Amino acid sequence: MPANRPDQIMLVETDPALAEVLAESIAPRLDAQITRAASAEAALDTDLFEPHDAFIGRLDLPGLDGLELAARILAVRRRPFFLIGDALSAPQAIHALRLGVNGFFTKPFDLADLLDSLDLTLYAYNEARRQQRRQRQLRQLVRRVVRQRRDLNSRMDLICRDLVQAHRRLVSRVLAQESRPRESV
């Protein structure tokens, strides 16, 4: 897995103009690759074959709404998920928090704020992933060292045994040599 692969962000928004504004502002700033979807169902299908690193979803979508989409996406794996919309009622907000949605942005957006939040969350997410990856490599290394040491030990044991046997043979041969000259005298 290449280390500095650009982030894959899925943008689910029905209004193409708004989607374009968001894509154009997010992609250069976060150095990310934006995938656009016009519905929750399309987004889920795409994510199935090509997992994305983060999601920006509109709250009121045709068919499955934004909260439903968040529930399904986040059930697969925890990823940054942002909701955008007109307004969020208190029950909706509580539901979103429980699902693990990272933020909600009301239209019209303060782009700087939105990009900062997105960048920060993605960075934190990526960092967390990088840390996880490093930990995993370390654990593999340790396991290999342990295994090599165990091999070495067994080899040492074999050598020692051979040495003991050779010594025993030598002793017996020495003892045999000492008894023969006496006869020749």
Partner 1 sequence: MSVLTARPSSGDSQRDSSRVESPAGQQQRVEMILAQIDQLPTLPTIALRVLEATQSSTSALKAVAELISTDPSLTARILALVRRAHVGVRADYLTVLRAVVLLGLETVRSAVLSIKVFDTFSALEPGEGAAFDRTEFWKHSFAVACAARQLTSQAPKGSAARRISPEQAFIAGLLHDLGKIALDACLPKSYARVVKVAAARRVCLCDLEREFFGVDHMVVGRRLALRWKLPSYVPDVCWLHHHPIDALPASIQFPGHIAVVHLADQWVRRQRLGYSGHIDFQPLAPLAEKAGVDERLLDELMAPLIEQVEQQCAVVGLGEVSTVKLYNRALADANEELSRLNLALTQTSRRLHVRTRGVDAVAQFTGRLSVTDDLLDVCRAAASSWRELLSAPLSAVFVCPPRWGSQLCTMAWEAADRAGSDVFPLPGDCVPRATTETRPIEPPAWSQLILEHCRMRNGNGDDQSAINDPQSPREWRMLPIVHGGELLGGVCFTVSAESPAAEERDESTDESLLAALGLALAGAISRADAGRLHEELATAHRQLRQAQDQLLRTRSLSMIAEMAAGAAHELNNPLAVISGRAQMLAMQFADPQDRQAVEVIHEQAVRCSQIVTELMAFAKPASPSPARVALSALLQPILRQWLDSCPLSAAQLTWHVADPAVTIYADISQVTTILDALIANALQATRPETARVHVNSLSRGSDETVVISVEDNGVGMTPEVAEHALDPFFSYRPAGRGRGLGLSKAHRLSEINGGRLWLESTPGKGTTVWVELPARPR
Binding residues vs partner 1 (CB under 8 A): 15, 17-18, 21-22, 24-25, 86-87, 89, 107-112
Residues 6+ apart with CB under 8 A from 150: none
The minimum distance between CB 7 and partner 1, in angstroms, equals: 20
Query: Between residues 37 and 44, which has the closer beta carbon with respect to partner 1?
Result: 37
Provide the b/e sequence for 78-111 (b: ≥16 CB within 10 Å).
Answer: ebbbbbbbeebeeebeeebeebebbbbbeeeeee
Smallest gap from residue 79 Cβ to partner 1 (A): 24
Query: Closer to partner 1 at the Cβ: 6 or 28?
Result: 28
Give me the least distance between CB of 129 and partner 1, in Å please: 29
Which of 22, 43 has the CB closer to partner 1? 22
Helical (H) or strand (E) element with 169: helix 111-179
